[in-house]
Amino acid sequence: MADQKISQRELIMEYFEQHPHRDIAHPEIVDWVTVEYEQRTGEKFRDPDRQIRTLAQQGKLIKVAKGIYRYEPEHLIERELEDFTPQQKEEIFKRDGYRCVMCGLGRAEGVEIHADHIKPKDLGGKAEVSNGQTLCAAHNFRKKNYRQTETGKKMFIRLYETAKQLGDTETAEFCSQILEVFECNGVNGHIEWKK
Ligand SMILES: [Zn+2]
């Protein structure tokens, strides 16, 4: 496939790039690419649906609804800026010794590692090595799935600050113990709390 002039995915993207900012349903794009692909390469386009889904998973297309996709050039640029490049990932891994910063397990133990955005992308976290940390698959999964606890952490930070202002050391100590549990379990580490 590599020696073909145009890949199937490139052809799909060509159509979307010609029609940006518009919701495009499966049949429209499938009809066009199957005809176009056969004309250009003399071959059949076997499974366009799967290729479209892959492009959406890669963030190149936005899935609007079932079977409807959209191309937003700005979305693509933003996404690229926010994602770590393979070089940045390697730099992050190397700095962290190829180990999860939470549990210390890593490649040496055969554990899969990920480059995580300390401040998440959707909160404006940049793709800079300084905003990256190495997490094992388990801790990465946990971090992503414990976002709803952010409100809790913020609430205890506010309570802590208030208690300190009021000189209520008992409540401040109570909050600081809870917040330390957040910290030492690496939950919501991007929300800064200073004792
Ligand atoms: Zn870990």
Contact between residue 20 and residue 73 where contact means Cβ atoms under 8 Å apart: yes
CA torsion 37-42-43-44 (nearest 10°) is 60
Q: How far is the CA of 181 from the centre of ligand 1 (A)?
A: 16
Q: How far is the CA of 11 from the centre of ligand 1 (A)?
A: 40
94-148: pLDDT as tens digits: 999 999 998 999 999 999 999 999 888 877 788 899 999 999 999 998 887 777 6
Residue 140 gets which letter from DSSP?
H
Q: How far is the CA of 22 from the centre of ligand 1 (A)?
A: 42
- Cα(74)–Cα(101) distance, integer angstroms: 33
16-27: pLDDT as tens digits: 999 999 999 999
Report if pTM > 0.75.
no
Q: How far is the CA of 68 from the centre of ligand 1 (A)?
A: 38
